[in-house]
Amino acid sequence: MKWGTKGMVSERLRYLDFLRGIAVILVMAGHFIDVATWGTEIPGVIHPNNIGMLPITPTDTQQYWRTSVFLVDSGGVQNAIVGVVFFFILTGCFIPDSLNHYGRKKFLINRFFRIFPTLWVCMIIDGIVVYILQGIQFSINTWLLTMCGLWKVFNVAPVSGVLWTLDIGLFFYLFCTAIGKFSLRRVYFMYIGIIIAVLMLPSDNYWICLIAGNLKWMSLILVGVCFNLVQKNMNDGVWGGGGYTPVLCSIMLSFISFNIFKYRFGDQTTYPKLATFVFCFSIFFLLIYLNKLNPVIFNKKYYAPIYWLAKHCFTIYLLHVSVGIPLMFWLREKGESSYLAIILGIVSSLFMAQVVTWVVEKPSIALVKSLMRRYKTNITQ
């Protein structure tokens, strides 16, 4: 069975969808547990007048936080950060096939319909929820820049803080259209360019910092691109068992890029830490090994909830913070237990994600597929 040509994984590579589902769980844990347990302010989600009532679920009211502390103490890693790293790697794994399948112009059209209609509806839902539960209002300028994906360009806080990762994804999509087609040689040239740029660009300008930051994240996405290319070469019989060496090299180059950025521009997070890279890629290669050992391990019927999360990851990502956390705060304010608040915060987010998937995301994807078929038919006539 071959690597999927439409940005979707084949059954043989189902473990990548499994990893996506795990990433969703980790990111949600990072927000519903870590942020709710220790966050003393949550901009755009909890009104500044209410920060005196934070954290939402302190350590003496629930025990979920112990899982996060275990990861930090034993491996020096954090839930949400590991999940985000997985998402960026997976972006690199899937996007090159979509670019090759559609071509540059249709690739951008496809990305637009897959992202923006769902984004617009989710941001409206987020805005309504935080207004009703927290009294937070956003300016027209904030709404427009958020809906256009240009909030970071104009240095404006978006309607939802989670959009920083989408902004990096959009940057990568534009870069993809400029590249046209990936190869290992091009990937390595890009790594060299990224390292030189992050090393040499001045660090006292907002625009330069923005570009350098996006390049740093792109170095992580390129690990997934490299994996994509290696898989194809293995399928074509180009390499043998040592074919993952280019992926290991790309991981090293990404780690270097992150730490050069930290040295030049500063980074207080755990993303550049060796422990984060070792932990994330150890899991990544473990899944590769288990899949090679017995692909049936990742059969969808065995892990249906995880694959459901993977299927709805985009809508969950857009909704879970601004829908779930204000509801948790409201429940705690009413005297409900932390456990009930966490559970209902998660359930409400997943429910809204399912609704938006049915009403908006699926129709948008169906529409763009229809447009692509019509475009192809007109070309052949």
Q: What is the DSSP string of 261-280?
A: HHHHH---SSTTSHHHHHHH
How many Å is the Cα radius of gyration of the chain? Answer: 21
| CA proximity to 298, closest of 91, 20, 93, 24 | 20
Quick one: tokens of 69? 């502390």
**What is the pLDDT at residue 101?**
85
Q: Is the dihedral of CA 224, 228, 229, 230 positive or negative?
A: positive
Number of helices (H), then strands (E), belonging to the chain: the values are 16, 0
Q: Which amino acid does the sequence have at 37?
A: T
Nearest residue to 159 (alpha-carbon basis) of 179, 131, 180: 131
Q: What is the pLDDT of residue 239?
A: 41
Whether the CB-CB separation of 63 and 337 falls below 8 Å is answered with no
What the block records as the tokens of 171 is 């940057």
- Concatenating the DSSP letter of every residue in 351-373 gives HHHHHHIIIIIHHHHHHHHHHHH
Identify which of 91, 96, 86, 94 has the alpha carbon closest to the alpha carbon of residue 21.
Answer: 86
Mean pLDDT of residues grouped by 10 in the chain (381 residues)?
43 87 97 96 96 96 93 88 97 90 89 96 98 97 95 94 94 90 93 95 89 95 95 58 82 97 93 96 94 88 94 97 98 97 97 98 92 66 51
Cβ 88 vs Cβ 221: under 8 Å: yes
Task: Verify cis geometry, omega within 30 degrees of 0, for the bond prior to 55.
Answer: yes
Long-range contacts of 196-202 (CB under 8 A, 24+ apart): 198/257, 198/260, 198/261, 198/264, 198/265, 199/260, 199/264, 201/264
Tell me: cis bond preceding 158? Omega within 30 of 0 counts.
no
- Name residue, tokens 């997976």: 90
pLDDT, position 13: 79
Look up residue 358 and give its amino acid: W
Pairwise CA distance, residues 224 & 91, whole Å: 7
351-376 burial, b at 16+ Cβ within 10 Å, e below that, comes to ebbeebbeebbeebbeebeeebeeee
Answer whether 123's CB lies under 8 Å from 360's CB. no
Q: What is the pLDDT of residue 103?
A: 87
Residues 207 and 361: their CA atoms lie apart, in Å, by 33
The pLDDT assigned to 5 comes to 40
Residues with Cβ < 8 Å from 81, sequence gap 6 or more? 30, 269, 270, 271, 276
